[in-house]
Amino acid sequence: MIIPRYRNCRIAISADGTLGIGLVRMLFEELEMIPEVLLFRSAMPDSRSILERELHSLGLTSRVIFSADGYQVKQTLEEFDVDAVIGSAWEKYMAEELGIKIAFDVFSRSYFEELEMIPEVLLFRSAMPDSRSILERELHSLGLTSRVIFSADGYQVKQTLEEFDVDAVIGSAWEKYMAEELGIKIAFDVFSPTNRETYVDKPYFGYEGMINIMEVIANDWDRAFRSKEIHWT
């Protein structure tokens, strides 16, 4: 499949190693995009060796950064002249701030389909027309009637969380602490988890990432709602 208008589009990909490596080949071979820079949140040895083989087989000399944090992502996007960014909603928002006209969030759909969660409310910091139309099609195809708020500021986020009776909040560290203030028992910072000690590098996007998120949310859910009056045997 070739989409001529995307041909030779220079892109930055931000993801975990599991999903990011697959995206490189698909975007390069199917859409003829050129991955200028690859930003991986994880740094597993297997991911490094697989990526090296993939880039060599595709004849690419992309700049690769492992264990990329928020500062590195923003600094790299400022440094490289790319036409598009493919990552999470966070990279999408950052790309818009930097004037990069094409930015696509490839992860939001996975929470409903893979984890069978029900998105009651969706709060977006940006409000680009393309984002609105893409989201409308996504919600329609999934049969969802979620409340959607674009260009949400801090006041709107807090007001909406107070208004809706939700069991969990998935967002950044900022939404996590706000949810805890409001008594919402499950709040997960999907970008940089700060409520747990980690001794091995674990991705939270892609196939492996979904398994890790399922594990985290299942344990947090059990811990939050288990009654202390029950004596487990």
Query: What pLDDT, in 10s, does the model give residues 62-95?
Result: 999 888 887 888 889 899 989 888 887 678 778 8
Phi/psi for 22 (5° steps) reads -65, -35
pLDDT confidence of residue 90: 72
Confidence of residue 142 (pLDDT cuts 50, 70, 90): confident
Rg of the chain over Cα atoms, rounded to whole angstroms, equals: 19
Query: Under a CB-based contact definition with an 8 Å cutoff, are residues 122 and 148 in contact?
Result: yes
pLDDT confidence of residue 30: 74
Would you mind telling me the total number of residues written for the chain in this entry? 233
CA distance 131 to 134: 5
Residue 19 has pLDDT above 50, yes or no: yes
- The answer for 110, left when phi > 0, alpha when psi is -120 to 50, beta otherwise, is alpha
Strands 168-171 and 186-189 come out as parallel
* CA 178 to chain CA mean position, Å: 20
Tell me the mean pLDDT in the region 91-101.
81
CA distance 208 to 213: 9
Helix axes 206-225, 17-29, angle to 10 degrees: 150
Domains with residue ranges and CATH for the chain: 4-105 (3.40.50.1980), 110-225 (3.40.50.1980)
pLDDT confidence of residue 37: 92
Count of C-beta atoms within a 10 Å radius of residue 173: 15
Query: Under a CB-based contact definition with an 8 Å cutoff, are residues 92 and 12 in contact?
Result: no
DSSP secondary structure letter of residue 123: E
pTM: 0.47
